[in-house]
Every structure is written in structure tokens, then in C-alpha cells.
Structure 1
């Protein structure tokens, strides 16, 4: 019963976080920005003000598929945010530009996260293979290897938190300083960014909890072998 409850929590927590960000975004995507700027114009304005003329702003498909690509130096905004005039779109566009500013300023946590990408990709593909083998066969060495690989992926998710929080902080500062939003809109924009951050917090919390559970299983196996 305890394990069932645990796994239900692992599924429900990220789901609730996703529902929160979607409902918050939907609410404030219906609130027009008084600046009259589209998300694309907001992104371009902030980039230019920070001297990042080499960073492009492009439209991309998908719902809330907005992201910054450090390899090509491109801020990609989903169609709704690229063309829309909402407070939510303004906040999201500014957030992605926040990552571009981090990149330009050589922000340490962003650099560290980038260095972890190949390791995290590898670990996500192979960690559970070794964990499964170790738990089924009772070979603690295989389980330990799986845990170590999984830990690299968990570290990536934990390091993502300061990167995302910092990008949101930069976003709010930029759109406020440049007069893109007023005081009321600042509150709305912060709610959108806080809701988005909640998804990263939930993912990291679930990943850490699962890692700790596996560590406890491993230590239990070690005790039984003694």
C-alpha cells in the first residue's frame, strides 16, 4: 500500500504542476499587455537593449514550446506568444531572452548545465537498465551503477532550478525597467513565471525522491549481504 501511495504521488505531483502552469498561462494569455508589443517584439526589444543583436527571434510550432537554443543563438517562441499581445506571452518571451542574457554573460549555472547535457542524455537511456537488472537479479553492483547514472540526471534537474529562477528574475527586471509592463502587469507576469518554475521544482523533487528510494534499496541489499 505504501509503494502504491508513493508512486501515485510521483505521478500526481508533476501532473498538478503542469495543470497549474497551463491554467495560469491560459488565464493571463487573455489579458492584453498595455505596451501593445507582441512576444516577438518584446524579445527583440530586450535583446537589442542588452546588445544581443546576433541573437535571432523565431516562431516555432507547439503549445508552450518556447525555448532558447544556445547552439544557434536563437530565441524560439510558440506561435501564440510570438504573435500575441498578452501579459503571459510577454513574460514567457522575456524569460527565454533571460536565458540568452545568461549565455552572453557566461552564467556559471547555465554553463554547468550545458556541460551535463551529454552525461544526462546517456544516463537517462541506460540508468534504468542497470537498476532493473540489479533489482531483479539482486546484484547490488548493477544497482549501484544504475543509481550513479541516475544521479547524473538528477543533478541536471537540480542545476536547472537556479538557471530557471535566474532567467525569470532577469525577465521581470527587463520588462519592468524597459517599461514594457506596468505595476499591475508585473504581478500577473510574476504569477506566470512562478507557475512555470513550479514544474521544474516538481520534476526535481520527484527525481530526488526516487533517487533516495533506490539508495535505500541498495543499502538494504548491502545489509542483507553482510
Structure 2
């Protein structure tokens, strides 16, 4: 019988990712809050800057809308809508401009056919199914002593890991495009570049934490599978 139903020693594998996740969340919250109180000298709102960045890049089919929540900003490539949270849409802070420009970075990636973004968008359905089905398949496989189901669960979760891995260059590239767009258009002064980079770097750290968690979770599943096979002999 598999001996780890009541005590699972493999959870320790996730500890580094858990620590980084807590740190990243605290970092993004404190950094965003700090620069949310620092007004940009240009005096424009995040939505105004977003529309101008899109216009300067020849993108006229992407709308900018306000959405609810905090730090809920995202670009929807299917509907070609850039959705900004109230603090970013109406905000005139360095944090607001940085986040708005970052989402514009994704719209620019979409417009120019940035390959990592296109690949990420392609595997979204597979990654979604993988993350939902992986654990049920894996643990049902262990319960039924089915190596096939357990292995299938690991393979499904691998799709979610690939999605997280490809997300990293997509996010960092969007941040680079954001800073370049803000500087190039004169929306931020040279001494405002550092704070904007701090906001975007803090946000990127959450994706690093998510990727590390996915990788270590995959290693944990593999370790559990190995322990199961050893005990089953």
C-alpha cells in the first residue's frame, strides 16, 4: 500500500517556491503602493498614455477599457481589448503609467506577431485542461495502481509547466517594450525610469514564483510516482 496518504514527505520540495511566492506578493504590493503615490510629471492618466502608445505603434483596433479589481490589468488578444484597473485607468502615478504601458507591450507583441506570445496563446487551452486534469488523473492512478493514469497526469501537468515557462519571456519582453515606449514618447523623465522599472520588476517576480512553483510541483509528482513504484514492489 502506498505509505504517504497520511503523511507526504514530498511537500518539502515546494518550500522554496512558497517562500518566493510570499516574497513576490509582498514585493509587488509594497512597490505598487509606493509608486501609486508618486505622480508622473507628464500629468496624464494611464488610459491616456495607453491610447497614445497604441496610436504611436499604429494600433487602432485595440480599445482601452476599465475593469474592476486591483492589479487586475490585462490584455485580451481575442477581443483586442486592453483592460485597466481603476487605479491604473484613471491614475496619474508612475505605477499607473508603468502598468498601462506593460499591457500595451502585450498588444504590441500581438500586433507584430511576437512568437513566444503566439505560442503561449496557442497552448492556453491545453495548459488549462492540463492543470485541471493532472492531479485527479495522477492520484486516481495511484489509488487504482495504474501507472498509465499516473503518468498521464504527469504529462498533463507538464503542459501547464511549459505554459509558465513561455510566460516568462513574454512578460519580460512586454516590460522592456513598456519602458522603451514611455521613454521614447517622453511620458517619463530619465529619473522616473528607475521607479517604473521597479514596479514592472516586482510584477515580473510573481511570474518567476509561479514558474518555480509549477516546476517544483512537477518534480514532486515525479517523486511521488517514484516512491509509489518503489513501495509497490
TM-score range normalised by the length of the shorter chain = over 0.9
Q: Give, in whole Å, the separation in 2 of the partners of 1:17 and 1:210.
A: 18
Partner of residue 37, structure 1: 44
- Please give the residue correspondences for 1:88-107 in structure 2 after superposition, counting only pairs within 5 Å: 88-107=95-114
- Please give the residue correspondences for 1:55-94 in structure 2 after superposition, counting only pairs within 5 Å: 55-94=62-101
Q: Return structure 1 stretches of 4+ with deviation > 6 angstroms.
A: none
Of the candidates 112, 116, 129, which is equivalent to residue 109 of structure 1?
Answer: 116
Q: CA deviation at 1:223?
A: 5.3
TM-score by length of 1: 0.94
Of the candidates 213, 216, 223, which is equivalent to residue 220 of structure 2?
Answer: 213
Q: Give, in whole Å, the separation in 2 of the partners of 1:188 and 1:90.
A: 11
Root mean square deviation of aligned Cα: 1.7
- Please give the residue correspondences for 1:1-226 in structure 2 after superposition, counting only pairs within 5 Å: 3=10, 5-222=12-229
Alignment length (residue pairs): 226
8 Å contact from structure 2 (residues 154, 221) kept in 1: yes
Considering Cα pairs closer than 8 Å and 6+ residues apart, tell me whether 1 or 2 has the greater RCO: 2
Q: Give, in whole Å, the separation in 2 of the partners of 1:25 and 1:93.
A: 13
Q: Give, in whole Å, the separation in 1 of the partners of 2:214 and 2:20.
A: 11
SS in 1 for 2:198: helix
Unaligned regions of 5+ residues in structure 2, if any?
Answer: 1-7
SS in 2 for 1:85: coil
Q: Give, in whole Å, the separation in 2 of the partners of 1:4 and 1:126.
A: 20
TM-score by length of 2: 0.91
Q: CA deviation at 1:72?
A: 1.1
